[in-house]
Structure 1
């Protein structure tokens, strides 16, 4: 297949480019002039070129260039940095949807989502609900344009949630004390970002996932925060002091935070108090590790070893 990655120099995008090349697809990566003098992004794009990817000059400020880029491929995967709170990302995604509609040749489009399934978050707390509402606006535009799609819900990125033992405001394991959300027994789903990229590329070209939501929910990585802490304690040989915070006290923190921070805190609340990633059933034909059993996904026991 010919696969175009939009946002290929980003956190998840660079992994999707690599996964697409490894799957043997003819991989195209949008090169936006807006990178300006960002030498690291340019060098990353050139490294893709050396690996066999095709760099396609295109800009969201030049709609025709976007349409021309889309016309060159069969599949478009958007990996623009997530729909950030009150960002212009929504407008960019809608422009991309319109370019795909005008081009009229795309066999599959994957919008930039990859987190919690927004269709299940209609009752999410404000102000964080805006993130999910924006993603649903993009979905509505895709479906109204009759564009074949696959939505991917990848749950918790391990880099942000596993290494920190799901503590906020850090990316590495705490050394002495950890705060548990409630009793710490609510299940979440932790997934290595390289595995997410592999599953995304496989789903993007799989006829079984046409016009479906695919959930990345590897069974060995469905874990509570307390289980993650216990895994780290076993690996590190250190027992952490455990403090618990109630849902009421957790939400009370909102009053002292800015808008974006309140949004993020609300997402944490839904994951670790509501269990929004695991409080519903997923059929086998919607779950990535069942669809692609050949992928040897990273267990969190192994993932945490990088922090030792």
Structure 2
């Protein structure tokens, strides 16, 4: 069995969907990783934090909004790898975190990318991530940028019996574009498995990495959904490129704007493919790690429909 030098990994945003996937994957390898997680004092009693404690995670009280750069530097002492999965909207919070990492000697930072690939100027949300990348590079902070494919849970249509007005359910009962545009996807629960490989790989230092389980089309996904559920989803509304553009022209609220730009990029423009990500300079994670075994889309679908 190979011997490893343990890496101290400090996570900010660990209790979210992506962060918790990473924590659980790293916790499976206690011989390789020591995990610390910054958690707001108000969240200390949440079930997911209690789960982390049982997994051996060291919980560090703190709040990215309230901590000063100096206090973050203290908390990051002896850290090898910093991973941030918080939303990158407030630039000053992000900037002070990564400057603190630099000043405390962190060997690698991973900012909150963890989304589909897209070129500049297509999505305002993606552009905010790209600006943060530029800040990290400008300040000569050792880094890795990790992109993930579209979550399959945002591709499958919800059953007719599922009710609600949340964005997920509303989006999950709509068909976008022609349905023939290729889409790279990464199962959320597998994001952490990729991250565990990437963050200690010298080949990925100061690089962008595209993770993916497979590529599909919305048409193929909905066909799988019909086979597994026995339901016909043809009655769900279809939204064209012009429908999406119309929404964007009408000054939507922030969340609607972000989701509409994602739909245009992923389902209409076809930005989210492995070929295009590599064309923009990303390394292909499946080439880096040929032993990785992806979960078939049919299995992901069975898991999805078993839980809703």
How would you bin the TM-score normalised by the shorter chain?
Answer: 0.7 to 0.9
Counterpart position of 2:130: 136
Q: Which residue of the other structure, out of 7, 32, 35, is the alignment partner of 1:28?
A: 35
Maintained 8 Å contact 1:8/1:29: no
Using the alignment, how far apart are the partners of 1:183 and 1:230 within structure 2? 14
* Secondary structure, aligned partner of 1:222: strand
Where does structure 1 lack aligned partners over 5 or more consecutive residues? Answer: none
Q: Is 1:122 aligned to 2:117, yes or no?
A: no
Using the alignment, how far apart are the partners of 2:157 and 2:44 within structure 1? 28
Superposed CA RMSD in Å reads 2.7
Aligned CA distance change for structure 1 residues 163 and 18 (closer, same or farther; 3 Å): farther
Using the alignment, how far apart are the partners of 2:111 and 2:215 within structure 1? 25
Counterpart position of 2:108: 108
Using the alignment, how far apart are the partners of 1:231 and 1:197 within structure 2? 25
1:224 is displaced (CA, Å) by 0.5
Q: Is 1:66 aligned to 2:72, yes or no?
A: yes
Counterpart position of 1:214: 209
* Secondary structure, aligned partner of 2:194: helix
Counterpart position of 2:144: 150
Using the alignment, how far apart are the partners of 2:225 and 2:84 within structure 1? 34
Where does structure 2 lack aligned partners over 5 or more consecutive residues? Answer: 1-6, 160-165
Number of residue pairs aligned between Structure 1 and Structure 2: 286
Using the alignment, how far apart are the partners of 2:270 and 2:43 within structure 1? 43
State the TM-score, normalized to the length of structure 1.
0.83
Aligned CA distance change for structure 1 residues 223 and 164 (closer, same or farther; 3 Å): farther
Using the alignment, how far apart are the partners of 2:27 and 2:43 within structure 1? 26
* Secondary structure, aligned partner of 2:34: strand
Counterpart position of 2:216: 223
Maintained 8 Å contact 1:3/1:75: yes
1:199 is displaced (CA, Å) by 0.4
